[in-house]
């Protein structure tokens, strides 16, 4: 063996030894889960559940730190630029994708390593029962008969249900009018009052009206059928592959220690797959569809790719372009 080969082999062995030591030692202190929203909201509640179960898997405390402000971009910027030891991680959601193009202070997706995908609170396509629409194919036929005539209730441009409604239009190949409202409650009120024929909120927003026969949920834009509406097919089952809604993934800085990130990521995925955790999350109304780092990274990159033209059309791409 040449001297060069010996040196390369020795350095490789040293690298593996150091990496193994980091993995064996991690975590050396409590881990922080930075939640970029105020305490008490849906994402905060879910993150606290995840923190508790991940703590059990790691054998170390996981402390939730709420850092609200600027749509979450300030906290995520701090995480992206901060601790690289693997002891700090955070959550990104659908709104983050929009923020990175509209807010000069927001970090970008490539500044994070995605450790795990948590799940989606899927958006739905809902129609008033008096429209006679019961399936996505019904909607496609109706919309093509009267392009632009149907009105859809959604939140403001860049919001989750706005993006969902826009992606659905593209996927279905139809046109309807997007009518913006200030949040999910007004969206629900709008379709119930007949101001619009359609709406694209979450399952929980309209499940009671669906069960009562006032509203028909045509499809759920989730990975799988929603446990609250097992009778409703997914967009994919209906022949229109689409997953959208409030998606949640857990991340560390892109340049975080790789061995520590691997240990943390495994603990998180183990927590997300834990039977008792899933029961608790389900009882609270959350859909958990775990993915490991590789699959989760591909999912988030694809979401970014799908959302970009929607954001561009809405005039929300202001500081960065693809």
Is residue 23 within 8 A of residue 263, CB to CB? The reply is yes
Identify the pLDDT of residue 9. Answer: 52
Pair 261, 252: CB distance under 8 Å: yes
For residue 157, the model assigns a pLDDT of 86
List the chain domain ranges: 29-121+246-313, 124-220
Q: Does the CA dihedral 75-78-79-85 come out positive or negative? A: negative
For 29-121+246-313, CATH number? 3.40.190.150
Count the neighbouring beta carbons within 10 Å of the beta carbon of residue 164: 27
**Nearest alpha-carbon partner for 242 in 125, 162, 150:** 125
Return the pLDDT at 7: 46
**Helical (H) or strand (E) element with 30:** none
Between the alpha carbon of residue 242 and those of residues 49, 125, 167, 234, 299, the distances in Å are: 28, 12, 8, 8, 12
- Residue 1's pLDDT is 52
Are 121 and 290 within 8 A, CB to CB? no
Quick one: DSSP state of residue 256? S
Which residues lie across from 121 on neighbouring strands? 246
Q: ∠ at Cα 94 (93, 99), nearest 5°?
A: 95
User: What pLDDT is stored for residue 206 in this prediction?
Assistant: 95
Looking at residue 153, what is its pLDDT?
A: 98
Whole-angstrom Cα distance, residue 65 to residue 37? 10
Contact (CB, 8 A) for 32 and 87: yes
Say whether 124-220 and 29-121+246-313 share the same fold.
yes
Contacts of 271 (CB under 8 A, 6+ apart): 50, 53, 54, 56, 57, 277
pLDDT in tens, the chain (322 residues): 555 555 445 455 544 444 444 566 999 999 999 999 888 888 899 999 999 999 999 999 999 999 988 778 899 999 999 999 999 999 999 989 999 999 999 999 999 999 999 998 999 999 999 999 999 999 999 999 999 999 999 998 888 999 999 999 999 999 999 999 988 889 999 999 999 999 999 998 999 999 999 999 999 999 899 999 999 999 999 999 999 999 999 999 999 999 999 999 999 999 999 999 999 999 988 999 999 999 999 999 999 999 999 999 888 999 988 8
Please report, for residues 38, 90, 178, 279, the alpha-carbon distance to residue 49 in angstroms, rounded to integers and kept in the order given.
15, 14, 35, 11
pLDDT at residue 17, as a whole number: 44
In the CATH scheme, what is the code of domain 124-220? Answer: 3.40.190.10
pLDDT of residue 23: 60
**End-to-end distance of the chain based on CA atoms, in angstroms?**
48
Kindly give, in sequence order, each residue whose CB lies less than 8 Å from that of residue 180, ignoring residues fewer than 6 positions away: 154, 155, 156, 157, 162
């Amino acid at each position: 063996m040449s001297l060069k080969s010996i040196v390369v082999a020795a350095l490789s062995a040293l690298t593996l030894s150091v990496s193994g030591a980091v993995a064996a030692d991690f975590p050396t202190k409590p881990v922080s889960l930075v939640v970029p929203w105020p305490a008490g909201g849906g994402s905060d509640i879910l993150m606290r559940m995840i923190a508790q179960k991940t703590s059990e898997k790691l054998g170390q405390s996981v402390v939730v730190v709420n850092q609200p402000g600027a749509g979450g971009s300030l906290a995520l910027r701090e995480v992206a630029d901060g601790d690289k030891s693997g002891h700090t991680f955070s959550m990104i959601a659908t709104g983050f994708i929009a923020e990175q193009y509209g807010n000069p202070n927001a970090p970008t997706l490539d500044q994070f390593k995605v450790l795990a995908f948590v799940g989606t609170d899927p958006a739905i396509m809902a129609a008033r029962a008096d429209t006679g629409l019961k399936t996505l194919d019904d909607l496609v036929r109706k919309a093509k008969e009267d392009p632009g005539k149907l009105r859809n209730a959604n939140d403001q441009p860049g919001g989750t249900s706005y993006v969902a409604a826009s992606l659905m239009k593209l996927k279905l190949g139809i046109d309807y009018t997007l009518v913006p409202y200030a949040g999910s409650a007004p969206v629900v009120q709008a379709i119930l009052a007949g101001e619009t024929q359609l709406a694209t909120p979450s399952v929980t927003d309209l499940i009671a009206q669906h069960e009562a026969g006032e509203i028909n949920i045509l499809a759920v834009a989730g990975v799988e059928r929603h446990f609250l509406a097992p009778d409703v097919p997914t967009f994919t089952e209906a022949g229109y592959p689409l997953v959208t809604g409030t998606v949640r993934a857990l991340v560390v800085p892109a340049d975080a220690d790789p061995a520590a990130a691997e240990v943390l990521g495994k603990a998180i995925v183990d927590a997300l797959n834990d039977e008792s955790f899933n029961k608790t999350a389900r009882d609270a109304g959350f859909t958990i569809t775990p993915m490991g780092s590789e699959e989760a990274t591909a999912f988030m990159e694809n979401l970014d790719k799908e959302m970009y033209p929607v954001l561009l059309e809405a005039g929300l791409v202001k500081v960065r372009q693809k």
